[in-house]
């Protein structure tokens, strides 16, 4: 007889599953787990236990420096004897040169203010004890990346180990994390003129933009831009550290990103290096574009950036990319500027996935766009905590059900655990509690999407999907028979 207990299903012994692997039994198990899930949906402890134990596939929207918790940064700075400016709570890595009032961690750690400075640091590094009167939440969020990126790069291995430990502890088996693309200073004689001709371009300027980008592309190649990507890929640290992370149950892969708030030729140059590196190294599975979407330059050059992706796609047709698009809410920009970001990312840039997509309902033709996303299987990466903190969009204001009802593939991601002091489990808890029309089978499909729509190579994707399906069989047996 099946006995469903509301609590402690996680705590008992491992059940042999061989007796329950036939299809009809498993189907009944899934149905019973689905019923059980509805019983516990609004019981916070049981729901948390359930979703912690549930296999969660992948976290596909994950920025390297934002996913590291402040405590880890603090440990790295302490152990490596980094620097702190105690009045501004700025930090720097060991080896940097600073004058007073900057102070070495070795000295600071002997002072009585060390613990209080750590707390102040954690507040800078994340939303811990966030005080809205101190400034806008989006600025607080985005400032963490420039503040801690150098420390994150200083000791990448520690960050990767943190990701892996957290992932294994909450049954996540794959992460795509975003790193800034490397850059190189190449001065092109015609650069200023080319830049002027494309700055602020609209879609109607696409012929000029493509002609100019053709010339920029050729000039950059002639100037040896390929060496930067080659050097990055052959830099043994990344590969070496990667080898220590991957195992039979967990994998980490990279997307390289450009910064949409830089000048046009800088954006293009970094994107080209990112595409080149992705074509050279199978650990780099995709390309992205980051930074606040409502920034002055990112708004001015949004269409130009989409044309850049279309141009690079011609040269690198096999390289996948996801684009942050529609990470905007009413009031952040003029209403007419909410009408086109997602559609251009899908239709002009040809993105395979969309990050956030929050302003979809403000698009000029949102329903046809949803149809296209459904047909082309363009997944949307939903980041509930992030959208709540940065955009103040949550509950019924969030378009997740709009996407779901139009059968656009959804994935759930963190963006980012360290800054938001969250994890993927909490994102699923928010999904379950805020959206009762999303049932257990929908959640299973969303989890599966995270592997299906990942940028993993096909053979690795198949292996991960097989592991995920087995993990769900085991999970459902454990839920039902404990």
Residues that bind Zn ion in the complex, under the rule CB under 5 A: 415
Nearest-approach distance from CB 455 to Zn ion, in angstroms: 15
Smaller CB separation from Zn ion, 198 or 351: 351
Nearest-approach distance from CB 205 to Zn ion, in angstroms: 28
Nearest-approach distance from CB 287 to Zn ion, in angstroms: 14
Per the structure block, which two tokens stand in for 332? 């952040």
Nearest-approach distance from CB 149 to Zn ion, in angstroms: 14
Say how far apart CA 419 and CA 56 lie, in whole Å.
Answer: 21
Smaller CB separation from Zn ion, 118 or 356: 356
Say how far apart CA 211 and CA 215 lie, in whole Å.
Answer: 7
Smaller CB separation from Zn ion, 225 or 358: 358
Smaller CB separation from Zn ion, 299 or 325: 325
Say how far apart CA 448 and CA 401 lie, in whole Å.
Answer: 18
Q: How many other C-beta atoms can be found within 10 angstroms of the C-beta atom of residue 131?
A: 8
Q: How many other C-beta atoms can be found within 10 angstroms of the C-beta atom of residue 396?
A: 10
The answer to whether 91 and 120 have CB atoms below 8 angstroms apart is no
Nearest-approach distance from CB 257 to Zn ion, in angstroms: 9
Say how far apart CA 420 and CA 339 lie, in whole Å.
Answer: 28
Say how far apart CA 114 and CA 10 lie, in whole Å.
Answer: 39
Return the residue nearest Zn ion (CB atom): 415
Per the structure block, which two tokens stand in for 230? 């080659």
Coarse DSSP helix, strand, coil percentages of the chain, rounded to the nearest 5 percent: 55, 10, 35
Smaller CB separation from Zn ion, 388 or 415: 415
The answer to whether 92 and 98 have CB atoms below 8 angstroms apart is yes
C-alpha dihedral, 39 to 410 to 70 to 388, nearest 10°: -80
Smaller CB separation from Zn ion, 301 or 415: 415
- Pairing of the two strands 251-259 and 284-290: parallel
Say how far apart CA 432 and CA 373 lie, in whole Å.
Answer: 24
Q: What angle, rounded to 10 degrees, do the helices at 458-481 and 440-452 form?
A: 160
Residue for token pair 């509930």:
384
Smaller CB separation from Zn ion, 171 or 386: 386
Smaller CB separation from Zn ion, 281 or 415: 415
Say how far apart CA 212 and CA 21 lie, in whole Å.
Answer: 59
Smaller CB separation from Zn ion, 63 or 313: 63
> What value, to the nearest 5°, has the Cα angle with vertex 323 and ends 318 and 328?
170
* Residues contacting residue 323 through CB under 8 Å, at least 6 positions apart: 288, 289, 309, 345, 349, 351, 353, 354, 355
Nearest-approach distance from CB 207 to Zn ion, in angstroms: 32
Nearest-approach distance from CB 47 to Zn ion, in angstroms: 26
Nearest-approach distance from CB 63 to Zn ion, in angstroms: 6
Distance of CA 360 to the CA centre of its chain: 19
Smaller CB separation from Zn ion, 62 or 311: 62
Nearest-approach distance from CB 178 to Zn ion, in angstroms: 7
Going by the DSSP 8-state scheme, the letter that residue 159 receives in this structure is H
Smaller CB separation from Zn ion, 382 or 408: 382
Nearest-approach distance from CB 100 to Zn ion, in angstroms: 37
369's enclosing H/E stretch is helix 366-376
Nearest-approach distance from CB 325 to Zn ion, in angstroms: 11
Say how far apart CA 88 and CA 101 lie, in whole Å.
Answer: 10
């Amino acid at each position: 007889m099946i006995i469903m207990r509301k609590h402690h299903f996680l705590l008992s012994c491992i059940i042999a599953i061989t007796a329950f692997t036939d299809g009809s039994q498993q189907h009944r198990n899934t149905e019973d787990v689905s019923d059980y899930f509805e019983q516990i949906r609004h019981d916070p402890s049981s729901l948390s236990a359930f979703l912690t134990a549930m296999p969660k596939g992948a976290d596909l929207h994950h920025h390297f420096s934002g996913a590291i918790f402040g405590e880890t940064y603090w440990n790295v700075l302490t152990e490596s004897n980094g620097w702190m400016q105690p009045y501004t709570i700025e930090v720097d890595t060991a080896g940097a040169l600073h004058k007073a009032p900057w102070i070495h961690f070795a000295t600071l750690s002997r002072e009585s203010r060390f613990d209080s400075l750590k707390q102040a640091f954690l507040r800078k590094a994340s939303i811990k004890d966030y005080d809205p009167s101190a400034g806008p939440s989006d600025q607080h969020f985005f400032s963490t990346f420039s503040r801690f990126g150098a420390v994150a790069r200083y000791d990448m291995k520690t960050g990767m180990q943190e990701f892996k430990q957290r992932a294994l502890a909450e049954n996540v088996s794959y992460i795509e994390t975003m790193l800034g693309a490397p850059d190189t200073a190449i001065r092109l004689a015609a650069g200023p003129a080319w830049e002027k001709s494309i700055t602020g371009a609209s879609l109607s300027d696409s012929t000029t933009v493509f002609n100019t980008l053709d010339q920029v592309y050729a000039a950059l190649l002639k100037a040896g831009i390929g060496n930067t990507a080659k050097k990055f890929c052959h830099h043994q640290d990344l590969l070496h550290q990667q080898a220590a992370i991957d195992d039979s149950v967990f994998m980490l892969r990279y997307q390289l990103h450009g910064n949409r708030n830089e000048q046009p030729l800088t954006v293009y140059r970094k994107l080209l290096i990112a595409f080149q590196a992705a074509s050279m190294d199978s650990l780099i599975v995709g390309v992205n574009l980051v930074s606040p979407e409502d920034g002055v330059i990112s708004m001015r050059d949004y269409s130009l950036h989409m044309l850049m992706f279309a141009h690079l796609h011609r040269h690198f047709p096999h390289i996948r990319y996801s684009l942050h698009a529609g990470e905007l809410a009413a009031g952040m920009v003029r209403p007419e500027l909410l009408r086109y970001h997602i559609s251009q990312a899908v239709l002009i840039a040809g993105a395979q996935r969309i990050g956030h997509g929050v302003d979809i309902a403000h698009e000029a033709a949102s329903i046809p766009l949803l149809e296209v996303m459904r047909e082309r299987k363009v997944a949307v990466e939903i980041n509930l905590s992030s959208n709540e903190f940065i955009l103040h969009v949550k509950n019924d204001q969030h378009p997740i059900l709009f996407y779901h009802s139009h059968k656009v593939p959804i994935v759930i991601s963190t963006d980012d655990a360290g800054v938001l002091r969250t994890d993927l489990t909490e994102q699923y808890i928010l999904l379950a509690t805020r959206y009762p029309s999303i049932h257990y089978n929908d959640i299973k499909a969303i989890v599966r999407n995270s592997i299906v729509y990942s940028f993993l190579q096909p053979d690795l994707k198949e292996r991960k999907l097989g592991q995920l399906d087995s993990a769900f069989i085991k999970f459902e047996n454990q839920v039902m028979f404990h």
